[in-house]
A and B are shown apart, each in its own frame.
Chain A
């Protein structure tokens, strides 16, 4: 096989163009998560959900650096990863509401969504699962002679998992085309990362000789710039790259989390660096858009997500009888 081939892939369902494309994608995620929160409180989204609010610049910046056929593995905090890759917001919302029209027919739910059509290897419910999956996808790309790159998204707490140590070394010795994106939001579930982590995470990666960089995860342009270099490195055949994004989640880890562990003033301080506000201010400063245009954009995205939520509530549930007859485990 020639080295320039890439995996066939479908384009994003929700198409974006123009200077405000990254802002629009982040808005889409934020409004989506707001809707999920509301629907969860109404008992329409079930079990538990982990929202991406505050971290949007990470997935959006990284996915903006990807090429067709590249794939990414997200986490249980995966709605942002999915939407940034171009997964259909309607299919994702339907899935969270357990409807037959969901991207996985209602089988998966929030923590386990898969949509290979749009490059989403999965949202991995097991901490560290995304790292292993992306490492393996990269092995597949490499050995099939494809010029694609795999991305693993994971949190900083995941750096203490066996998967992290084993897969980073594995990927480096095999020079696999994988980008490890560590989204450092300072907390695992309720435990501050520094309480349970020795040393700095990039130092571990450096010890393995991986290309690595840390970027401001509240700034989508900074993330995209860092990710572009990381992806180029991985695509060149030089081996895996490691990108740390310094970010923050504005909401609880999952449902029922009052956030008692946060340091005083920290949430307010980070909200002032809201990635949506940062990008909006930049567009205006650069003269790429004016206030009225961006207000219009925000209203359009909000209205679109309202429609998505309304349609999801109308969608039919799967039929258990058919489901279990069809599946032969």
Chain B
């Protein structure tokens, strides 16, 4: 038997726990995160172990939480904050976008801003239009900020450690549908570098690029398509800013086809940016290139509406079949 599997939410908690133990300057705060242990049951026990000076509950004040974390970060602390739902990041926007992200640059590097914002994102839980968004594009256009978006427990732990040790602001996104996912734990002192994608399934007919829950959908779709003789390579981006363009381009050079799957609206989404990058630098390798996103609409509540709205393994399979049937496999040598 292999080692016990690790649950995604426990991986996040373990990373926080171990970083709090390793580095005195790490502090963690947010709404209902201390004594109650967080609304997604991620942070239980941290306050007991590390004390209420380092792990504490805040008022419902997103702007103050983010703003205070920024000020503390330039004063020798390494704050990790929780903004409960990704949708509430909008309330903290000025502090993150105008203050924290730009400080290192405009101060001519007098002080860095070692700050991590953890936030639960993603749809599929019937939470409706204002508790289900994944607002990556809002942040992807902000130089000075990194965006980490893990898909497995092992990555969640290693990347959160990497994020906490990074010297400038990192947005760390946790997809709600992944909290109960279990996986192989990896070694306990693993720290992952930010900005590197991973090929999680090698394949030769199509490069499928995605992140977070999309990776699980993509892998399931790839299994299904394999039975039909279509060999899909799946790339887990893991970090959405900076983007690991090299890994994507290198893959497309081999497969000649690119599909990007994004859980978010088509217009202004991050998938479009990847298509543009590959078109600019790899046009000669491309036989086909497209993306699967949500419609340009807010996320609906009703189950049949939400299910039809979101990318899924089934929608990926249908879409890949359609595209590959119109451009036969291995048309380009």
Interface residues of A (CB under 8 A from B): 46-48, 98-100, 102, 105-112, 125-128, 157-158, 160-162, 188-191, 195-197, 260-261, 317-321, 323-324, 327, 329
Contact = CB atoms under 8 A, between A and B. Distances in A.
A261 B303 contact: no
Given A47-B125, A191-B31, A317-B303, A157 B131 contact: no
Nearest to A329: B296
Interface residues of B, number: 38
Contact of A188 (B32, B125, B129, B302): B32
A195 B295 CA distance: 43
5 closest Cβ pairs, A-B complex: A109-B301, A106-B302, A98-B302, A320-B308, A46-B126
A106 B301 CA distance: 6
B130 A106 contact: no
B272 interface: no
Contacts of A46: 126, 301, 303
Contact of A111 (B60, B131, B302): B131
B193 interface: no
A188 B36 CA distance: 12
Given A189-B32, A329-B297, A108 B305 contact: no
Interface in B256-307: 265, 267, 295-298, 300-305, 307
B314 to A, nearest CB: 13
A329 B61 CA distance: 31
B39 interface: yes
B169 to A, nearest CB: 20
Contacts of B229: none
B104 interface: no
Contact of A323 (B39, B64, B130, B300): B300
A176 B92 CA distance: 27
B139 to A, nearest CB: 18
B60 A161 contact: yes
The interface centre, meaning the residue of B59, B60, B62, B298 with most chain A CB atoms within 10 A of its CB, is B60
A196 B91 CA distance: 19
Given A107-B305, A111-B128, A317-B303, A126 B57 contact: no
